[in-house]
A = this chain, B = another copy of it.
Amino acid sequence: MHLTETEQAEIAAARDHSVSTRRATVPALEAMLFTPVPVLDHGFVRVIDYMGDDAAVVQAARVSYGRGTRKVSEDEGLIRYLMRHRHSTPFEMCEIKFHVKLPIFVARQWIRHRTANVNEYSARYSVMDREFYIPAPKHLAAQSVNNRQGRGDVLEGDEAADVLGLLREDADRNYTHYEYMLNEDRVDPDRRGLARELARMNLTLNTYTQWYWKTDLHNLFHFLSLRADRHAQYEIRAYAEAMLAMVRAWVPASCRAFEDYRLGAATFSATMLSVLRQMLAGEAVTQADSGLSKREWAEMMDTVGR
């Protein structure tokens, strides 16, 4: 992660500035505010602003007049109840805003989550930075043989070196040509320069972009349940995990409930429940007579530790 001196100074200035507020405030998240947390080789995620805390979830659920005088343990009990019974609206009452720097191909997965507000750096209006994502060797995975959208083992030796070389050279050359076509400030006075909105098309999908992304806690949990999951592509999961750490600081009780009831949970289909009841009753059940496909059976046995 590289920041210019100006950017560092702007962040430092924002962190230095404190004022008084009557709003719900979370010291643990205040401590993190504005500071970029590095993700991947040149990316980051940082919290720009937030609204609400655990008590705000409770306050909205009760439509109450004040912050309440109940014990923290009662609030946590209610939060767990709300999460368990899929009451989503109280969690929508907290909001968070991130500034994220991320490769374009990750941004394209991310944007599929539509219930969020986004302002992306505009390559129609501005010139992109010369920064590309190149996987660390341990993340340079081969195509999985079994799973069409999965990764297999890590590439090694010549093949790895070969791939890394190509990724680097192609991104770099294309960026150089991008800059050349732009001819910003008419460095070459004999050329007029291609429109920015056209020149950008020469960039590769690992070029870094950045955006402001704002969402509510319920939709953030949904995002994290899909993107912090082990089936998510590593590159987006790296962002999800950095954000999950921030959410733990922000709304610890809600996040505990989320990790217990959603992230670490498993759903059993009606057919699986029937198998489970038989197993608990001591009956022998086999995949063949279970009504489950081989893959489902394997997934279920994996989940119940058999």
Contacts and interface: CB of A to CB of B under 8 A. Distances in A.
A22 B50 contact: no
A67 B114 contact: no
Contacts of A202: 166-167, 170-171, 204-206
Interface in A100-115: 103-105, 107-108, 111-112, 114-115
B214 A93 contact: yes
A117 B261 CA distance: 22
Interface of A: 3, 6-7, 9-11, 13-15, 17-25, 30, 33-34, 48-52, 56, 59-61, 63-68, 77, 80, 84-86, 89-90, 92-93, 95, 97, 99, 103-105, 107-108, 111-112, 114-115, 117-126, 133, 135, 140-144, 148-153, 155, 159, 163, 166-167, 170-171, 173-174, 177, 180-182, 191-198, 200-206, 210-212, 214, 216, 226, 231, 233, 259-261, 263-273, 276-277, 279-281, 293, 296, 303-306
- Chain copies in the assembled complex: 4
Contacts of A9: 66
